[in-house]
A and B are shown apart, each in its own frame.
Chain A
Amino acid sequence: MNRLKQNFTGIGLVKLLIYGFFLLFLIIPLVSVFLVSFTNEPINVFGSLVSWEQMQISIDQFKNATIDNFKSIFSYGSYFKGLINSLKLSLIVSLWVLVICIPIAYGIARTKMPFKKTISALCTIPLVIPTFISAYAFIIMFGRAGWVTYIYEKLGGEGMLLDPYSMTGIAIVQIFFFFPYALWPMVAAFKISDVSLEEASRNMGSKGWLTFITVTFPLAIPGMLSTALVIFAVSFSDFGTPIILAPSDLNLIVVDAYREIAGFFNWGGAAILTVIMIAVAGVVYWLQNYLLKGKNYDTLSGKPKKIKLSENKALTIPLAIFSGFVVLIPILAMGTVFLQSIATTWGKDPLPSGYTLEHYRTIFTSSLGNIQNSLILAAGALILSVIIATFVSYFVVRQRSTTLDFMTTVPLIVPGIAFGIALIQTFNTAPLQLTGTAFILVIAYSIRRLPYMVRSTVGTMKAIKQDIEEAAVNLGATTLTAAITVIGPLMLPGIAAGSILVFVTVIKETSISILMAPAEWAPMSLAIFQNVMRAEYYSAAAMSVILVVMVLVLQALANKLSGGNKS
């Protein structure tokens, strides 16, 4: 009785609301997209709950359900091609990322290569840039009128050095902009590889490079595999690059899914592709956890031994040159976007023919709305995720709610485009017609970015001792009042750091924006995308620069905040 009473007051009610939120906007959409992949038509889940007739319709839909869609996937049609191409792309990208990261990581972890600090710092830049901007940058570099193509032709080449509108183009963009995800884990792996084993090997007369191949490298393999899986997942879920660069005859699963729903309103097709995307992402996530099980690199290092950093110039100089080249490409890409944004015109020449701030003025007069939309939407998502994450971390830490813990990892796995499709289908009709509203867009953003926020708030929540909360309750506060007046304020640092991260990633968000944003709420990312599609490159460039600057500033602020907490 007492229990019951508590469940229906304050904090219990909040918990119910949060469960309801996840059920409504995460679980039901994912389940319903799975059902649609059989029925071929959207199912009105909420309508069935309020109206008997609708229920009848839904039941009939189930009676007509088929596994045709699943068959068609494996009948070597375009869906199958899309899946295979996507898997191929992700595999190529993750392998190449490993290959280019090994020397850089080794250089950073084990040598005193020149410009090590600078190179390390520059390696974080690619992560800040949304992929659709990187992809677009590659068009203006390597495209028919790009300056790289100009130089290439002057050097005697014919046509383009590489066609950005191709599988290779997509792969190259992803390799150069995703490699930092793999770099830092790999640096860590190289740092902890058993130094004493290596020394033993060297004492037995083994040469440096032989030691590397026979000892250091094999020891780092499990770490590298799981890193490769991270890249695989990132590449597989990436929407920004393929949507800009994929030619119409190249099937890729994310692009196909987008076209099915945005172009042809083919619910069944979009649903089956969504289910497959989620399945692949789920398997990759599971594999990754499986590989990492029992291997915590932080604790594995035990007593950190002093690694002797190599100063051999014959090794460090080539390493530095290689690393410099790798980080140079994203920087050149961004430089190109910047030049374009201040160019009067820029044809097939190494440099623009003149410079102007006109494009920025255009943006601040005619596209200010997009910036405003981005800020408002991001702020909305931020507020929603702050509230949810604060309570979720309370339930996860204090009441050991494994369900909520799981709920907040799901969005980490589901690719953005898949989640977007699930939401669109579920909220397509009355009584809960939310598709095309800013409301559902904000919800989509916040669920997608909730894991970051929760990770941050759970950390701070764990640092707050239980008896502080009990003291408040002992003094007469209800659990809810204690949460608002004591726990909440104590969690502020964690909330602040998490919020900036959410804000930044929402501004960068591509797939959800392009798929779900209504015209009157178009954020910057959608505006840039549309400009690129209409080949309005100058305003796209200016808008991109503004976006990247915003992201850089906020990111620096976040680093400062979280750095300030540690000291």
Chain B
Amino acid sequence: MGSVVVEQLRKDFSGVTVLQNIDLDIKEGEFFALLGPSGCGKTTTMRCIAGFESPTSGTIKIGNKDVAKLAPNERNCGMVFQSYALFPHMNVFDNVAYSLNIKELRKANLFKKIGVYTRMLNSKIVKYPKEIEKKVMDILEYVELTDHAKKLTSELSGGQQQRVALARALVMEPEVLLMDEPLSNLDLKLRHTMRNTIRRIQQDMKITTIFVTHDQEEAMSMADRIAVMKDGEILQIGTPTDLYSNPKTSFIADFVGTSNILPGKVVASENGLTTVKVGNQQIQSVTKTSKEDVQVIIRPENINVLSEGTEDTSNAFEGVIQFATYLGSTVRYDVKVGEHQIVVDTTYESGDSIKKNGSTIKLGVSPERVLII
């Protein structure tokens, strides 16, 4: 297992820059997610690490070793492709054993080489040695596919194919495991199960993992740290809670979780409190800023519904409910405040009544929960 360090990576495709200033410092055993909208360069970053693209400039180190001179087949990065890329002409066992065959091929003399090649073309003719047999069966047990070892991959369900792809990458004991949107071809329920499976395996094996996704929920729920990418650059790197509570830009605030993002003007700054005018409303925040035109960011769950007759605090305002969505343990209200539309999440306990559309609602937020960018 190794760390992955990327410094000043840049990639041009025929003159067009699709990646620049990419710096990553991924620690041994870390589960690291690359998060960003489609087309932002996540796959390209990963392909540079795997060696399928050669960087225009910059360095990539895997386990403290510069890999610039290593061909993709010498890098020992296990990759799980979005399409799984299983070998359709081989059964599950042969798929998983592929890298072990290659390892044997490397040390074999000519005579043995022929044997290994024959086995890779038809494993019925030349048998696997005991060690390979055991290794493959162990990993198959690990991903719960022991019963399917002799099946063709096309006979498996999506989730099972995914696990074959995972097992095939893991069995080579890679320095780093690369996964490109591995869950995007699964249905919702399976996706949740697979999240847990992947996370469990990653923690068990303590394998350095880079996980590419455009789904913030997936990244937030699985990763130790996340790099948020946009237009070929990294905007912010941090733990999920870090990104959630301290987004550096409104793009991240919006992309990571739901946010109310409102434009405003700073009108005062005293006693450690910044006062911002948003519409007709004044909002106070503990965030310090030197700018005048700012954006106020408030998470929906940080807005409290104040009962009638509560004293007006500084950060209280009234709004009209446009729409209520019942989400199980929470209720989401779309509320019109002045000319702005905001979202408010409230916890829901059985017996509570849901407020009617058109009714007026009084809201409040503590200055600690108001972020200014």
Contact = CB atoms under 8 A, between A and B. Distances in A.
Contacts of A471: 79, 81, 85-87, 168
A477 B168 CA distance: 13
Which has the most chain B C-beta neighbours within 10 Å: A468, A474, A478?
A474
Given A474-B72, A474-B77, A484-B117, A465 B98 contact: no
Interface stretch (B99-107, B203-211, B246-254): B99-107
B102 A481 contact: yes
A500 B74 CA distance: 39
A489 interface: yes
Interface string A467-495: 11011111111110100111001100000
B69 interface: yes
A6 B68 CA distance: 14
Interface in B294-347: none
Which has the most chain B C-beta neighbours within 10 Å: A6, A471, A481?
A471
Given A467-B83, A467-B85, A474 B117 contact: no
Which has the most chain B C-beta neighbours within 10 Å: A1, A468, A476, A478?
A476
A486 B105 contact: no
Given A475-B168, A476-B99, A484-B117, A468 B87 contact: yes
B332 to A, nearest CB: 40
A51 B326 CA distance: 91
Question: Chain A's interface: helix, strand, loop or mixed, by majority?
Answer: helix
Contact of B85 (A2, A468, A476): A468
B129 interface: no
Contacts, number: 76
B182 interface: no
A477 B73 contact: yes
Q: How large is the interface on A (under 10, 10 to 19, 20 to 34, 35 or more residues)?
A: 20 to 34
B89 A490 contact: yes
Given A465-B83, A471-B81, A476-B99, A490 B88 contact: yes
Contacts of A478: 71, 73
Which has the most chain A C-beta neighbours within 10 Å: B50, B68, B73?
B73
A501 to B, nearest CB: 23
Nearest to A492: B89
A478 B85 CA distance: 17
B87 A486 contact: yes
Given A1-B69, A484-B117, A475 B85 contact: no
Contacts of A474: 50, 72-73, 77-79, 169
Interface in B74-132: 74, 76-79, 81-83, 85-89, 98-99, 102-103, 105-106, 117, 120-121
Contacts of A475: 73, 78, 98-99, 102, 168-169, 172
Nearest to B103: A476
Contact of A465 (B50, B68, B79, B85): B85
Nearest to A466: B85
Given A476-B172, A479-B73, 17 more contacts: A465-B85, A468-B86, A468-B87, A470-B72, A470-B85, A471-B87, A474-B50, A474-B73, A474-B169, A475-B78, A476-B73, A476-B74, A476-B102, A478-B71, A486-B87, A489-B121, A490-B88
26 contacts: A1-B69, A2-B69, A467-B81, A467-B82, A468-B85, A468-B87, A468-B88, A470-B52, A472-B98, A473-B52, A474-B50, A474-B73, A474-B78, A474-B169, A475-B73, A475-B98, A475-B168, A476-B74, A476-B103, A476-B106, A477-B73, A484-B117, A485-B98, A485-B117, A486-B87, A489-B121
Interface of B: 50, 52, 54, 68-69, 71-74, 76-79, 81-83, 85-89, 98-99, 102-103, 105-106, 117, 120-121, 168-169, 172
